[in-house]
Amino acid sequence: MDTATAIARTILEGFDKHYRIFRETSAAAQGRFERGAWTEVIEAGQLRIDMYDRRVVEAVEAITSRFPDLGTSERHWPAIKRAYIELLYDHRQPECAETFFNSVATRLLHRTYYSNRYIFWRPAVAAEHIDAEQPTYRCYYPTETGLLPALRQILEDFGLGLPLADARSSLRHLLRAVRIWFPEPSAVQPNFQFQVLSSLFFRNKMAYLVGRMVNGPRQHPFVVALTRSPGGELRVDALIHERAHLVNLFGVAHAYFMVDMEVPSSWVSFLRGILPDKRTSELYTAVGLQKQGKTLFFRDLHAHLKHSTDRFVVAQGKRGMVMVVFTLPSFPYVFKVIRDRFAPPKAITREQVKEKYRLVKLHDRVGRLADTLEYSDVALPRDRFDPALLDELARLAPSSIEHDGDHLVIRHMYIEQRMTPLDIYLHTGDEAAVRHGIQEFGQALRDLAAANVFAGDLLPKNFGVTGEGRVVFYDFDEVCYLTECRFRRVPEPRTHEDEMSAEPWYSVGPNDVFPEEFASFLLPAGRARDLFREVHGDLMDPGYWARVQAEIRSGTVGDVFPYPAELRFA
> CB pairs under 8 A, 24+ apart, for 487-494?
487/513, 487/514, 487/515, 487/542, 487/545, 487/546, 487/549, 488/512, 488/513, 488/514, 488/542, 489/514, 489/516, 489/542, 490/514, 490/516, 490/517
Residue 261 near residue 287, CB atoms below 8 Å = yes
Determine which helix (DSSP H) or strand (DSSP E) holds 568, and give its type and residue range.
none
Active-site annotation holds for 53: no
Determine which helix (DSSP H) or strand (DSSP E) holds 101, and give its type and residue range.
helix 94-108
Report the candidate in 277, 440, 279, 281 with the shortest Cα–Cα distance to residue 368: 440
Q: How many CB atoms within 10 Å of residue 117?
A: 11
Residue 364 near residue 42, CB atoms below 8 Å = yes
Rounded to an integer, what distance in angstroms lies between the CA atom of residue 305 and that of residue 367? 29
Bridge partners, 137 (sequence order): 197
Terminal C-alpha separation, the chain: 63
Strands 373-381 and 193-197: unpaired
Rounded to an integer, what distance in angstroms lies between the CA atom of residue 129 and that of residue 118? 27
Name the catalytic one among 237, 260, 364, 371. Answer: 371
Residue 401 near residue 411, CB atoms below 8 Å = yes
- Phi, psi (deg, nearest 5) at residue 310: -75, 170
The residues annotated as belonging to the active site are: 371
